[in-house]
Chains A and B, each alone.
Chain A
Amino acid sequence: MAEQLSPDLRVNLCGVLLPNPLVLASGILGTTAELMERVAKNGAGAVTCKSCGPEPRAGHPNPTVLDWGPGLINAVGLANPGIDEAVEILRETRRRLQPLGVPLIASVFADSVKGFAEVTRRVCAVPPDLVELNISCPNVEAEFGRPFSLDPDAAAEVTRAARAVCDRPLLVKLSPNVTDVVAIGKAVVAAGADGLTAINTLGPGMVIDIESGWPILANRVGGVSGPAIRPIAVRIVYDLWAHLRVPIIGTGGVTCGRDVIEMIMAGATAVGIGSAVIQGGPAVFSRIAAEVRDYLASHGYASLNEIRGLAHARRHMEP
């Protein structure tokens, strides 16, 4: 029997080469250069920092993150050190990730179009390999108002403003909490986004302690993530790919190689890993990458390109 070549896990995300499709999702472990380097050394194909905004934010009081069983619910509230310190952290992160060949994605947020443009401009000086606009955090509505991601015009305006000052590939992270996510996707791509990240957390949701009657999260409501939301994430990636054909980081409840393959068959270019880190810490990346490689090898595929969007080609027989 001829020796089988190891499948090629590399993917091209908006012109940036990732050694494998697994991307550390924003908001998970992306707080320090040392931690992001550890994630990269544990097999991530790219690393997204925790979203940084114009000013330091303490975030919400605890409880902020709960494992409610089929997933997590969180309302951390965009805790971050502010753009001045974030730029220093990202510079150090870039210095550590470059020799590893693992790209850095800078996630940014703000409460205004002007703020988004300013934070994007500042962060591009690092420079990261890609920039991701977090227009879809569901946990700061009381302070920030309605997320930009819920309205095509608002989403497009933010994207246009960031695009004007951004010389890196630009991703926009979409919310699942809309009736027509494709309309939002079309609007941000038309406004200059190179790719999409889908999805941010679902909801918001609520978990109540029935002994006390208290909603457990201090913010009362929070974004739902983990395996519970994966079918929704897969469907949204499928719809976005069907209508837009731009690179997508498919994110939502992926915990194993099978989930990664499913996301890529829906049309994802790369796949975000977030809540799954509670299962094995940063080591989940190498475990999941090995599972993806095994799947490709055992099914005779040489690369992920051979299965990307495969579900779109499968059509039910006409009656």
Chain B
Amino acid sequence: MRDGTWNPELPLPMTIREVRQETPAVRRFVLDGSLTAEPGQFIMVWLPGIDEKPFSLMNAQPVTLAVAEVGRFTRAMHQLSQGDRLWLRGPFGQGFTLEGRHLLLAAGGYGAAPLAFLARRARGEGRRVAVLVAARSRQHLLLVDEFRTLGCEVYTCTDDGSDSQPPRLAPQAVEELLTSLRPDALYACGPAGMLDALEALARQYHLPAQLSREAYMRCGIGVCGSCTCGDQLVCRDGPVFRIAG
């Protein structure tokens, strides 16, 4: 009904082709199917009898997810292995749009997944991509090798300094990189506090920024009003919100 047509948007099954442990908390799931999707868009993953939750795409062709074990649902996901099925609806929401020749991506914690998809797209178009991967400690730095393989310049920062650099929070590291690299645009995904700080930085530096936000979601299609951020619906108006800078 989305486009006045009668195409249902029901969950479709896909089979897990590969599971890879990325960090102590995060596993990568590569599925046997593909979607037409933009980096930053999300899907709803349904495990029958358990629940249905939103996940940003780490890649769409094939569908790839990076899932942190944080609760009942993701614990169930982590028990899945190659050959198991899961069901998904989507893609939904507004993704990232590429702007500028030199991009700075800031990944906080599990926020690296949609930025890996963005980096793949941006590098495919020959844009210069620098990535800050931030986490609470070195072992939780996510997808560093992935970003390197994609041809990005990778920087890291940790809350505790366990990556052999001074301990600092992501916004501080981003501000240093804004000064030293002078990128054309900032892209970020991570905890709300980090995104709020980066939004302030973007305004201060008059830099366009695209921030992918999380929210408690139900329908995923903009009717239930569960995922509001001010007067915006994260599932439909977001999850990526652009700040003009």
Judge if A23 is at the interface, Cβ distance under 8 Å.
no
Interface residues of A (CB under 8 A from B): 27-32, 34-35, 37-38, 50, 59, 61-72, 74, 76, 79, 207, 209, 211-212, 214, 216, 218, 226-227, 255, 274-275, 277-279, 281
Tell me the nearest residue of chain A to B3, going by C-beta: A279
User: What are 26 A-to-B residue pairs whose CB atoms are below 8 Å?
Assistant: A27-B224, A28-B223, A28-B224, A29-B223, A31-B224, A34-B228, A34-B230, A35-B228, A59-B218, A62-B44, A62-B51, A62-B218, A63-B44, A63-B46, A65-B219, A66-B10, A67-B8, A74-B219, A74-B223, A76-B218, A209-B10, A209-B48, A274-B223, A277-B223, A278-B223, A279-B2
List residues of chain A with CB within 8 A of the CB of B46. Answer: 62-63, 216
Question: A70's contact among B1, B51, B218, B228, by CB below 8 Å, is which?
Answer: B1
Asked if A279 meets B4 with Cβ closer than 8 Å, knowing A34-B228, A38-B231, the reply is yes
Distance between Cα atoms of A281 and B225 in the complex (Å)? 11
Judge if B11 is at the interface, Cβ distance under 8 Å.
yes
In contact, B231 and A68 (Cβ under 8 angstroms): no
Tell me the nearest residue of chain A to B13, going by C-beta: A211
Distance between Cα atoms of A207 and B10 in the complex (Å)? 9
Tell me the nearest residue of chain B to A256, going by C-beta: B4
Q: Binding site of A, secondary structure by majority: helix, strand, loop or mixed? A: loop
Distance between Cα atoms of A237 and B220 in the complex (Å)? 31
In contact, A281 and B230 (Cβ under 8 angstroms): no
Question: B2's contact among A30, A64, A207, A278, by CB below 8 Å, is which?
Answer: A278
Question: A69's contact among B6, B48, B53, by CB below 8 Å, is which?
Answer: B6
Judge if B236 is at the interface, Cβ distance under 8 Å.
yes
In contact, A32 and B225 (Cβ under 8 angstroms): yes
Tell me the nearest residue of chain B to A65, going by C-beta: B219
In contact, B236 and A67 (Cβ under 8 angstroms): no
In contact, A50 and B225 (Cβ under 8 angstroms): yes
Distance between Cα atoms of A69 and B228 in the complex (Å)? 25
List residues of chain A with CB within 8 A of the CB of B2. Answer: 67, 278-279
In contact, A35 and B231 (Cβ under 8 angstroms): yes
Q: Interface size of B by Cβ–Cβ distance < 8 Å?
A: 35
Judge if B115 is at the interface, Cβ distance under 8 Å.
no
Distance between Cα atoms of A279 and B51 in the complex (Å)? 25
Given A65-B218, A65-B220, A67-B2, 8 new contacts (CB under 8 A)? A28-B224, A34-B230, A38-B231, A66-B9, A69-B1, A209-B13, A275-B223, A278-B221
Q: Which of B211-238 contact A (CB under 8 A)?
A: 218-226, 228, 230-231, 233, 236-237
Distance between Cα atoms of A91 and B52 in the complex (Å)? 33
In contact, A281 and B237 (Cβ under 8 angstroms): yes
In contact, A68 and B8 (Cβ under 8 angstroms): yes
Least Cβ–Cβ distance between A68 and chain B, in angstroms:
5
List residues of chain B with CB within 8 A of the CB of A37. Answer: 231
Least Cβ–Cβ distance between B6 and chain A, in angstroms:
5
| Nearest 10 interchain pairs by C-beta | A31-B225, A65-B219, A69-B8, A34-B231, A62-B52, A214-B48, A67-B9, A38-B231, A63-B52, A29-B225
Distance between Cα atoms of A278 and B224 in the complex (Å)? 10
Least Cβ–Cβ distance between B223 and chain A, in angstroms:
5
List residues of chain B with CB within 8 A of the CB of A278. Answer: 1-2, 221-223
Distance between Cα atoms of A218 and B218 in the complex (Å)? 12
Q: Which of B74-108 contact A (CB under 8 A)?
A: 85, 87
Judge if B49 is at the interface, Cβ distance under 8 Å.
yes
In contact, A70 and B6 (Cβ under 8 angstroms): yes
Question: B1's contact among A67, A74, A216, by CB below 8 Å, is which?
Answer: A67
Question: A216's contact among B7, B11, B219, by CB below 8 Å, is which?
Answer: B11
In contact, A216 and B10 (Cβ under 8 angstroms): yes
List residues of chain B with CB within 8 A of the CB of A68. Answer: 8, 10
Question: A64's contact among B1, B7, B218, by CB below 8 Å, is which?
Answer: B218
Distance between Cα atoms of A34 and B233 in the complex (Å)? 11
List residues of chain B with CB within 8 A of the CB of A216. Answer: 10-11, 46
List residues of chain A with CB within 8 A of the CB of B231. Answer: 32, 34-35, 37-38
Question: B225's contact among A30, A62, A279, by CB below 8 Å, is which?
Answer: A30
